[in-house]
Amino acid sequence: MWKWLHPYAKTENAYQLCVTLQPWLWLGALLCLAVGTVWGLAFAPQDYQQGDSFRIIYIHVPSAMLSMGTYVAMAIAALVGMVWQWRTAYMSMIAMAPVGAVMTFIALFTGAAWGKPMWGAWWVWDARLTSELILLFLYIGVIALYGAFEDKQQAGKAAGVMALVGVVNIPIIHYSVEWWNTLHQGATISKFDQPSIAPEMLWPLLISLFGFAFFIGAVTTVRLRSEIVRREMHRPWVQKLAQATSENS
């Protein structure tokens, strides 16, 4: 079943996959982000309670959901690296880490900017906000740990352990608003129930969610390509590639 994945354990194949995927991911990101944000920020109706302030949802919710999604993807990559010992797995893990960290930061920042006018506070130490902050620290920890080792193979293993351990935080973030009483409201769309948002507000939200996902994918492929090239500099295929590029320019 997973046989089709096996070639991508080789860095050259993984690099080629990134090259193929990249334009499509950028195209998807550009289209969805343009449609989603313009629709959401300019054309979706106002909220009955929060007026125009609610529009920050079109940035806050996608970035928050994908900060968690990217972390799970990173942890899966770490698991693959650990069990199957794929070098490309650790490389893609570290390619995703800063992207996820930025998403987490955007989620926290837009949340604070939303909290001030609506709740009356930039920050409250409730379970949801605190666990999302811990997620940011986990990302930073993974990046720092990876950077601390000279030997990048060792670095990948160490950072991978940290990424895997930190994955317990993901269900905590998601269920924090149900397990404890918090200032943050419950889930609007990520639940096994009808979304509690009017359809004309939901559509742009879903589109910008896809836009963010494509964007993360696109940035990750760029980072993975450069990571592979940096680590495989001595390989003949990379040298051939470098030669071809310099001849073209």
Partner 1 sequence: MNPRRKQRLAVVGIVGLLIVSAIGLMLYALNDSIDLFYTPSEIIEGKQGQMPHVGQRLRIGGMVVPGSVSRDSKSLAVSFDLIDTGPIVTVTYTGILPDLFREGQGIVATGVLTSATEITAQEVLAKHDEEYMPPELAEKMKGIKHEKPANMPVTDASSSYQYEASPELESETVSELGSKSKPGGQ
Q: Is 163 in the site for partner 1 (CB under 8 A)?
A: no
- Residue placing its CB nearer to partner 1 in the complex, 25 or 135: 135
Residues with Cβ within 8 Å of residue 93, at least 6 apart in sequence: 74, 77, 78, 81, 142, 156, 159, 160, 163
CB of 84 vs partner 1, minimal distance in Å: 6
What's the chain's Rg over C-alpha atoms?
Answer: 20
Tell me, rounded to whole angstroms, the distance of Cα 208 from its chain centroid: 14
Write down the least CB distance from residue 123 to partner 1, Å. 11
Whose Cβ is closer to partner 1: residue 16's or residue 188's? 188
For position 172 contacting partner 1 by CB under 8 A, the verdict is yes
Judged by CB under 8 A, does residue 164 bind partner 1? yes
Candidates 13-21, 93-101, 176-184, 206-214; binding stretch for partner 1 (CB under 8 A): 176-184
Please give the angle made by the CA atoms of 107, 74 and 160, to the nearest 5 degrees: 125
Nearer to partner 1, 105 or 175 (CB): 175
- Write out the binding residues for partner 1, residues 76-105 only, by CB under 8 A: 79, 82-84
Residue 165 interacting with partner 1 (CB under 8 A): yes
Is 180 among the residues that bind partner 1 (CB under 8 A)? yes
Q: Which is nearer to partner 1, 22 or 110 (CB)?
A: 110
**Cα separation of 131 and 174, whole Å?**
9
In whole angstroms, give the CA distance from residue 249 to residue 183.
Answer: 56
The tally of CA atoms less than 13 A away on the side-chain side of residue 213 is 11
Q: Which amino acid is at 89?
A: A
- Give DSSP secondary structure letters for 97-118: HHHHHHHHHHHHHHHHHHHHHH
Strand boundaries in 18-101, DSSP class E: none
The span from the CA of 78 to the CA of 92, in Å, is 9
Shorter beta-carbon distance to partner 1: residue 59 or 238? 59
| Residue 50 interacts with partner 1 (CB under 8 A): yes or no | yes
Footprint of partner 1 on 108-137 (CB under 8 A): 117-121, 124-127
Binding-site ranges for partner 1 (CB under 8 A): 45-51, 54, 57, 79, 82-84, 117-121, 124-127, 164-165, 168, 172, 178-183, 185-188, 196-198, 200-201
